[in-house]
A and B are shown apart, each in its own frame.
Chain A
């Protein structure tokens, strides 16, 4: 039974998992199995270095990483667009090197870039249905349901390329539901969307996840991963740094606090250099464009240390705050540790 069977087919098979998708993730069989995956485009530099993981049926698996971390390369390999240089994998129990077309028949892919046929929204749905062998009558039924569900009825006659960014994204996601999908790959689907549109899109996906859809989702937006994913893998420089359920990852950092600090521009370099040297093994410093984050398991002591460094370097602190642990802390800490090793 595929998600679209639930969405469009026999409702008697519908078993909503209102407690969240993690339950399905715990009990489901692995639909993606990746072992020792490596990939290089030029034969020298590796975009992926020994990546291994499994995704279970009904799970939302997040690939979290900054730009250029290797997320999109991994998605291209998983969706059979490119072959990995080394390693093995199975998708839905099939080998992509032999069963590419059969796998592709059962997956949906929302790519990072927009992709439309040069026709109307409705025309794009119809063409997609035809290409994926959806029978004519069924095609019309699915199209109408999806146009309604994704709020696209009023713009059905508009050319897809004339739509706003948010509308285009909704069309791209909805279009993938025209055919039967076992796994939906979403490669940064919310880039360029405003907060409301972003949440709306994630809710559409969440709704289908409750009905059994497996989702592989890449993002560099940590709130999104927190909102949507059962498990996340933090990926950087082609390596998976940490991988666990969102809750477990947060628990790892329970008790730790992130201290955000921003200093006057003229003293930035001097301050962070001194702070880096002063921080012990119990705190990690990561510097961004708007200040720095210090993840510490002894926030009181670290706070005093920051103030002391500011005094000694004569640099004025402009912003200082302590906040609760979030997925962002996990991400920053993982990437910072990797960078320093």
Chain B
């Protein structure tokens, strides 16, 4: 396995654009989503919802970056970022929240103030 990690330094988890996952994703490494995930996501590191991706799930991660569409409650232990063109519906809980110009958001914000 170490050999594979060497040949592929980006040995993270990537969900491709045509993939649909219905269930739960748990992990200890960065997760990049280009496709569709429904259910629950719980990872120790970062979650990136790329442009064109659809996530209908509660998300728990260290950092969450949304460029696509996310419906669900998000708990980002470090940072939540909504990029331009992103759409998010759900409650956001994170000490740092960045909402870019052009992002769409509907839900509660909890920064633990």
A and B from one assembly?
no
